[in-house]
A and B are shown apart, each in its own frame.
Chain A
Amino acid sequence: AAGVIQSPRHLIKEKRETATLKCYPIPRHDTVYWYQQGPGQDPQFLISFYEKMQSDKGSIPDRFSAQQFSDYHSELNMSSLELGDSALYFCASSLNRGYSNQPQHFGDGTRLSIL
């Protein structure tokens, strides 16, 4: 079965650079979520989109932005990168139809390292 695809798998950047992470949800899924997992930490919710509109917002820094496109893929844009942004970034998708009661399926993540 198709899963959530994230690219790239690994990304190395320097401080103050920008990065773009991409997420391709499971076909027909209408909701995309982004999470950040620091070393030894539990995943923290950043932001979600339902039918291309922002549906919920968590602890996403102002330096980050995200959007969901017409084909339902999503991109997380990160600017002015800081050492503390080094983490595993997960994308998840679900088929909600407007209800938050469906399981979220996670991708393998993008490991971002800031030098």
Chain B
Amino acid sequence: KQEVTQIPAALSVPEGENLVLNCSFTDSAIYNLQWFRQDPGKGLTSLLLIQSSQREQTSGRLNASLDKSSGRSTLYIAASQPGDSATYLCASYGAGSYQLTFGKGTKLSVIP
């Protein structure tokens, strides 16, 4: 059964800093990996999807990478802003599966 781990559980950085969030998964036969943002009490906003054949995806200040051989994905946020404060979750699909398995998230606080 796929297990997804995110470290650290919480992170506090000053505004303007570049930062990296980590995600690791146990089953390297993942089909793809998706990063989400969740604000308190709110829904999940899809940030980036990396398919198994890809190594990275970029959207604005966000860059996500995928290394299936090591079972890792990273989300890089450039020039962080207070509005980036939220919980970031990664989730993976297994091959032939329709369900996402989520990590427990990293709670990010960007201090003005």
List residues of chain A with CB under 8 Å of any chain B CB: 31, 33, 35, 41-45, 48, 50, 55-56, 58, 88, 90, 92, 96, 100-109, 111
- A105 and B36 alpha carbons, distance in the complex (Å): 10
Q: Please state if B99 and A103 are interface contacts (CB–CB under 8 Å).
A: no
Q: Please state if A56 and B32 are interface contacts (CB–CB under 8 Å).
A: no
Q: Quick check: is B26 within 8 A (CB to CB) of the other chain?
A: no
Partner of A56, one of B31, B43, B98: B98
Q: Quick check: is B60 within 8 A (CB to CB) of the other chain?
A: no
- A56 and B41 alpha carbons, distance in the complex (Å): 27
- Measured as residues with beta carbon below 8 angstroms from the partner, the interface class of chain B is 20 to 34
Q: What are the residues of chain A within 8 A of B101 when measuring CB–CB? A: 45
- A107 and B96 alpha carbons, distance in the complex (Å): 24
Q: What are the residues of chain B within 8 A of A108 when measuring CB–CB? A: 42-43
Q: Please state if B49 and A106 are interface contacts (CB–CB under 8 Å).
A: no
Partner of A43, one of B46, B98, B102: B102
Q: Quick check: is B45 within 8 A (CB to CB) of the other chain?
A: yes
Q: Please state if A100 and B31 are interface contacts (CB–CB under 8 Å).
A: yes
Q: Please state if A109 and B100 are interface contacts (CB–CB under 8 Å).
A: no
Q: Please state if A106 and B44 are interface contacts (CB–CB under 8 Å).
A: yes
14 pairs from A and B in contact (CB 8 Å cutoff) = A35-B100, A41-B104, A42-B102, A42-B105, A48-B98, A50-B98, A56-B98, A90-B44, A100-B32, A100-B96, A101-B51, A101-B52, A106-B45, A109-B43
Q: Please state if A103 and B44 are interface contacts (CB–CB under 8 Å).
A: no
Q: What are the residues of chain B within 8 A of A92 when measuring CB–CB? A: 44
Q: What are the residues of chain B within 8 A of A58 when measuring CB–CB? A: 99
Partner of A105, one of B41, B46, B89: B46
Q: Please state if A101 and B98 are interface contacts (CB–CB under 8 Å).
A: no
- A45 and B91 alpha carbons, distance in the complex (Å): 11
Q: Please state if A43 and B44 are interface contacts (CB–CB under 8 Å).
A: yes
Closest to A43 in B: B102
